[in-house]
Structure 1
Amino acid sequence: MAPDVFAPATLGPARLRNRIVKAATFEGRTPHGQVTDELVAHHLAVAEGGVGLTTVAYLAVAPEGRTHHEQVVVGEDTLAGLARLAEAVHGAGAAIAGQVGHAGPVANGRSNGVHALAPSRMPSPLSMQLVRSATEQDLSRITAAYVATARTLVRAGFDVLELHMAHSYLLSSFLAPGLNRRKDRWGGPLENRARLARQVARAVRDEVGGEVAVTAKVSLADGFRGGVTTEEGLEVARLLEADGTLDALQLSGGSSLMNPMYLFRGGAPVKEFAAAMPLPVRWGMRVGGGRFLREYPFEEAYFLDKALRFREALSMPLMLLGGINRRDTMEQAMAHGFEFVAMGRALLREPDLVRTLEEERRAEGLCIHCNRCMPTIYSGTRCPVVEEAPFPPT
């Protein structure tokens, strides 16, 4: 019998009041790299709205690992704010996860004031700089930074650590043969390309033991030539499962560097993104944004077919992500054997959607998948449709 998506569940050592996760979506509420009242309010809204677990994004392990300078680097100077955030979420009855990562080639080196890192040297369309190839010393330092970040988040009271292994961020970029052209032990065969992700997961698990849950966001497919394919993504997942370092995998897709709309199906907000970008990126977006922001039609649970291949091959807990807006979709996910469902844009439109669905006041959310929320990450992530509505949604 399929579990009730609204009933309590466990994720590793963490106890959740239901099986619904707010997926990590950068909130745009840390202008000075510190937790703000606005960030607390953002997560408090979805916690009060009924989610079992809300995920803070994006928590960088190192300064060059930020996508841009307005992000939290986890450390002693951000510990107090993170603890305040965790306490607020717990007070509303939800658990809290931190998405832990290093942006790698997705980082804007010009914004951060330090060159970005990648498996191999490459030009950056974000900073108009060259991204340098990570050295052995860099990889040792970054692995240690993941460990230190994990310990700090445990001290701050977080329940779950989500390791970012997707979207062409550093760990994911090592997996992609088109981005990883190395000839050393970090490149070539998939087992070598997966070495860094597995090393980080092992180091974090060794540090935190069973104090908190450790999960990873992984790719069902990157959606670009030279990216991680579904077959390779599945093999990486098998390796991670065999290592025994993770409590669950969240199944995602796309590349923030090469093909972001593969994850965000629906409208492609080229005009809105161009308006939000600094010069000269704005000009480039206006001219070539339609090629970068490819439009994919939206359909409910659009990753389900690929995710079912992972479900059939793996025994570990899995979180289904991608276009989940309806109660019946959540129930079908449970029937298919997924242990959790993750929601992003639907909760941005309606922070109280989980409560609404649980109480059967409505069967589906109001999000129209226009994706005009995406460019608002630079000014406080929000739903423009709600701002424009003459009356509150009912």
Structure 2
Amino acid sequence: MVSKLFTPVNIGPLTLRNRTIRSAAFESMCPGNVPSKQLLDYHHSVAEGGVGMTTVAYAAVCQSGLSFDRQLWMRPEIVPGLRELTDAVHKEGAAASIQLGHCGNMSHKSICGCLPVGACSGFNLYSPTFVRGLRADELPEMARNYGNAVRLAREAGFDAVEVHAGHGYLISQFLSPSTNHRKDEFGGCLENRMRFMDMCMDEVMKATGNDMAVLVKMNMRDGFKGGMDIDEALLVAKRLQQDGAHALVLSGGFVSKAPMYVMRGEMPIRTMTHYMDCWWLKYMVRLVGKMMIPSVPFKEAYFLDDALKFRMALPDMPLVYVGGLVSRDKIDEVLNAGFEAVQMGRALLNEPGFVNRMKAEENARCNCRHSNYCIARMYTLDMACHQHLDEELPRCLKREIEEIEKKG
């Protein structure tokens, strides 16, 4: 088959120069919750490297939606900085998207400024912290936060937004039977659990108008017993199509319950704790981290089998494949299976110019070795590949990374 990779593709009102998208892998490059030069430089490098669209990751739609102190928080004062980023991306011929979401219960008062909120009250070990369930009368305002964030994204020059409805964040917490135990009209059957998602999408679609593309990242499976599985996820996908989404990004996993289902491979626990500041958390994670974050084997295109079921069930819906793409051969296979575009995260962190290299080399493969050092470091510092650090890593971290890479 002739490769579709470097042909244009339409997502709603937006045309991309090729079918590659930098996924919304959290950069952790926004100290003080504002865009930094580092964030601009990274996304500019990916745009310069040939990508069709780059996605700025995990911007909180309001302060209570913050998970990290190095995460974007959408508000008017950051618009000029984001405009510099989108201008730089556009000069290289790429489109710019921004992922918008709310972390729900996966935060702490010291970060989000209040007792964390979620679909239900309870205790979250992820932080750890108590959590307050949102009242029904608070949900319309929470949904409006998504629309307001879209308006700010338009003002900042973004061509698209990606609504985060997966990975166990707020919308996902309403969708999943594991985290939604509500007794009102927003809990119980799937139809009720989709109501908050519908409210958010209504606000998003009103705010995007006719000139912005709307992608939604969603779970095909939550990745653990008692979570949302593929039968319900297919119904969620069909509802999102009815809600007006222009494309779906098909993912899976729950950050608080099945984190490596999202990313695959093994979490380098020693590396993660090496960068932690909190002594007791460092000790606890080192002690029980392997049990809390069990490994899930990596294989290239690890979500493809599930994603093909969505392709069959949604013949008219643009679908974006994400998950474990590191070679042109596999990307061509995915596109030829009927997906409109592909997203890459770790591959473009390892090699921002990978798309241009694929254009020059039919058998191009990036040099990511799947040690997940970048993810272990991300929770405290910026996301960075260990192969391109200026500083020398301690010997114990080098050994851990080498051991994980050998297993892969």
The CA deviation string for residues 293-319 of structure 1, in whole angstroms up to 9 with x for no partner, is: 111111110100000000000020000
1:337 alignment partner AA: G
- 1:294 is aligned to 294
TM-score, normalised by the number of residues in structure 1:
0.95
**Equivalent residue of 1:10, what SS?**
strand
TM-score, normalised by the number of residues in structure 2:
0.92
Change (3 A) 1:30 1:348: same
Residues 65-84 of structure 1 mapped to structure 2, 5 A cutoff: 65-84=65-84
- 1:240 is aligned to 240
**Equivalent residue of 1:191, what SS?**
helix
CA distance in 2, matches of 1:247, 1:54: 17
Task: List gaps (5 residues or longer) in structure 2.
Answer: 393-408
Q: Is the CA contact 2:33–2:73 (under 8 Å) kept in the aligned structure 1?
A: yes
Residues 1-394 of structure 1 mapped to structure 2, 5 A cutoff: 4-243=4-243, 245-277=244-276, 278-314=278-314, 315-360=316-361, 362-377=363-378, 378-387=380-389
1:347 alignment partner AA: L
Task: List gaps (5 residues or longer) in structure 1.
Answer: none
**Equivalent residue of 1:72, what SS?**
coil
The CA deviation string for residues 42-75 of structure 1, in whole angstroms up to 9 with x for no partner, is: 1011111111010001211110101123322111
CA distance in 2, matches of 1:285, 1:310: 36
Alpha-carbon deviation of 1:361? 6.9
Alpha-carbon deviation of 1:144? 1.0
Q: Is the CA contact 2:215–2:247 (under 8 Å) kept in the aligned structure 1?
A: yes
1:31 alignment partner AA: P
Q: Is the CA contact 2:219–2:251 (under 8 Å) kept in the aligned structure 1?
A: yes
Q: Is the CA contact 1:163–1:216 (under 8 Å) kept in the aligned structure 2?
A: yes
Q: Is the CA contact 2:329–2:363 (under 8 Å) kept in the aligned structure 1?
A: no
Q: Is the CA contact 1:68–1:109 (under 8 Å) kept in the aligned structure 2?
A: no
The CA deviation string for residues 228-258 of structure 1, in whole angstroms up to 9 with x for no partner, is: 2111111110111233x10000001111111
Alpha-carbon deviation of 1:224? 1.8
CA distance in 2, matches of 1:122, 1:283: 24
Segments ≥4 residues shifted beyond 6 Å: none
The number of residues matched between the two structures is 389
The CA deviation string for residues 137-157 of structure 1, in whole angstroms up to 9 with x for no partner, is: 331211111111101101111
Q: Is the CA contact 1:24–1:344 (under 8 Å) kept in the aligned structure 2?
A: yes
CA distance in 1, matches of 2:122, 2:338: 40
**Equivalent residue of 1:82, what SS?**
helix
1:326 alignment partner AA: S
CA distance in 2, matches of 1:175, 1:109: 24
CA distance in 1, matches of 2:126, 2:184: 27
2:96 alignment partner AA: I
Alpha-carbon deviation of 1:330? 1.2
Q: CA RMSD in A?
A: 1.6
CA distance in 1, matches of 2:172, 2:2: 32
**Equivalent residue of 1:43, what SS?**
helix
